[in-house]
Amino acid sequence: MSVRIFISYRRDDSEGETGRLHDHLCNGHFSDEELFLDVEDIATGVNFKDAVEKAIDECSVMLVMIGTNWESSVDASGNRRLDNPDDMVRHEIRTAINSSKRLFPILVKGSKMPKANQLPEDIRDLAFQNAIEIRHAHFKNDVAGLVTTLRQTLTEIEGYSKEPANATIIRQKENALKELRFKLIGATDSPLFEYRTKNNYLPVLGDGNPDANIIFIGEYVGKTEAEQGRPFIGPSGDVLASMLKTINLRREDVYVTNTILDRPVDNKPTAKDSAYYMPFVDEILNIIQPRVLVPLGGIAMEYALNKYNLPEKGGKIGKLHGSLLQATLPYGKIFIMPLYHPAVVLYNPTQRATLEKDFQRLKVFI
């Protein structure tokens, strides 16, 4: 795996803060291989400058750690380090700017962003970047905001769409989904099988593009859906279709399913229901292999956060909607973006703008 995030810092300015941030980013957010920190990643005997340039060439984002001594730091002769063209920090930033990398100044220890006239001309662009402050007293919350920004930025830069499968692969996926649907129909051990049969309901595996890059996963099957055997029909389905239209997608471009694939008794899903259908949902993902999973509503979000043991588990949809999370499935990385359930618009029309704004973040995956 190549470097995605390069961390630039001065030892005499922010060594402790940099190490703390690096460790926190590695704790469930990014892998060690995705982050570059010189003391961690340059082996003994390796040309330091070559290693740095290679890492900058690979990375998509550079974090520039700025403490109170960053701009004014001097060498043993009393000369300001930044005035030396060979100063390593200046070299790192200059290389990143010349390579059009995204720069994020990270302000620590209460520091202020240096002004353009305080910087050498070849790194003056740094002064015009939006800085992110990491405060000691609010470290956890500030880093959470940074992680969200990094994930969104990396997605925009790197993209995460997949190459469309050929006709043969698509047929194989269609057949696999058909077999899974037959298995669901014959699931006599389901806690909802008797209720389904008694009411002449149908199980609802899902529908849409068998090679979709984006899968929407709702909460559970409603009455009309169980009667017709299709997910997200009726008013909520209309809202979903209208949201997809705002990003130039149709229902048939994506795949839509639920965490519980039968109608729950009295419309009240249980933990037993969720546990039974989880392997079916897992198999849908393994067959289609999307790059983006969009849980719609709190129940679906809870499934995703717990299933992939994400640091955000236990969080509320009101706080996490529109956030870009990341997990690893057997076939590779997947992005997870929880959104409000489309039904929220039916109960609270003022939320339409929020839902539409969140949908716009999916454009990078199209």
What pLDDT does 358 receive?
A: 92
135-142: long-range contacts (C-beta < 8 A, 24 or more apart)?
Answer: 135/110, 136/109, 139/20, 139/24
Instruction: Judge if 72 and 186 occupy the same domain.
Output: no
Instruction: Judge if 202 and 321 occupy the same domain.
Output: yes
pLDDT digits (tens, 9 = 90+) for 36-49: 987 655 566 667 78
Least confident stretch, 152-156, 262-266, 268-272, 341-345 = 152-156
Instruction: Judge if 191 and 104 occupy the same domain.
Output: no
**Final residue belonging to a domain, choices 125, 158, 191:** 158
CATH of residue 201:
3.40.470.10
- Residue range of the domain that includes 268: 167-365
CATH of residue 16:
3.40.50.10140
Instruction: Judge if 67 and 195 occupy the same domain.
Output: no
Per-chain mean pLDDT for the chain = 92
Instruction: Judge if 329 and 289 occupy the same domain.
Output: yes
DSSP assignment of 186-222, as one string? T-TTSTTHHHHHHTT------EE-TT-SEEEEEEE--
pLDDT digits (tens, 9 = 90+) for 294-339: 999 999 999 999 999 988 889 999 999 988 888 888 888 788 999 9
What pLDDT does 39 receive?
A: 60
Instruction: Judge if 86 and 103 occupy the same domain.
Output: yes
Beta bridge partners of 85: none
Beta carbons within 10 angstroms of residue 188's beta carbon: 8
- Report helix angle 139-158 to 11-26, nearest 10: 80
Instruction: Judge if 50 and 109 occupy the same domain.
Output: yes
**Cα dihedral sign for 264, 268, 271, 272?**
negative
Instruction: Judge if 214 and 278 occupy the same domain.
Output: yes
**Pairwise CA distance, residues 326 & 328, whole Å:** 7
Higher pLDDT, 151 or 36: 36
| 3-state secondary structure (DSSP) of residue 69 | coil
pLDDT digits (tens, 9 = 90+) for 191-216: 999 999 999 999 999 999 999 999 99
What pLDDT does 304 receive?
A: 94
When divided into structural domains, the chain yields a total of 2
Confidence of residue 112 (pLDDT cuts 50, 70, 90): very high
DSSP H helical ranges for 76-123: 88-98
Instruction: Judge if 153 and 175 occupy the same domain.
Output: no
Instruction: Judge if 210 and 261 occupy the same domain.
Output: yes
**Final residue belonging to a domain, choices 158, 177, 192:** 158
| 3-state secondary structure (DSSP) of residue 258 | strand
Query: Which whole number is the average pLDDT over 223-250?
Result: 95
255-260 and 207-208 strand pairing: antiparallel
For residue 25, pLDDT over 50 is answered with: yes
User: What is the layout of strands, in order, in the sheet containing 207-208?
Assistant: 207-208, 255-260, 214-220, 292-295, 332-336, 325-329
φ and ψ at 305, to 5 degrees? -65, -40
For residue 165, pLDDT over 90 is answered with: no
Instruction: Judge if 62 and 144 occupy the same domain.
Output: yes
Pseudo-torsion of CA 222, 224, 230, 234, nearest 10°? -100
DSSP assignment of 219-252, as one string? EE--HHHHHHT-SS-SHHHHHHHHHHHHTT--GG
**Final residue belonging to a domain, choices 135, 158, 181:** 158
Instruction: Judge if 107 and 212 occupy the same domain.
Output: no
What pLDDT does 1 receive?
A: 44
What pLDDT does 46 receive?
A: 63
**Pairwise CA distance, residues 85 & 160, whole Å:** 37
End-to-end CA distance of the chain: 24
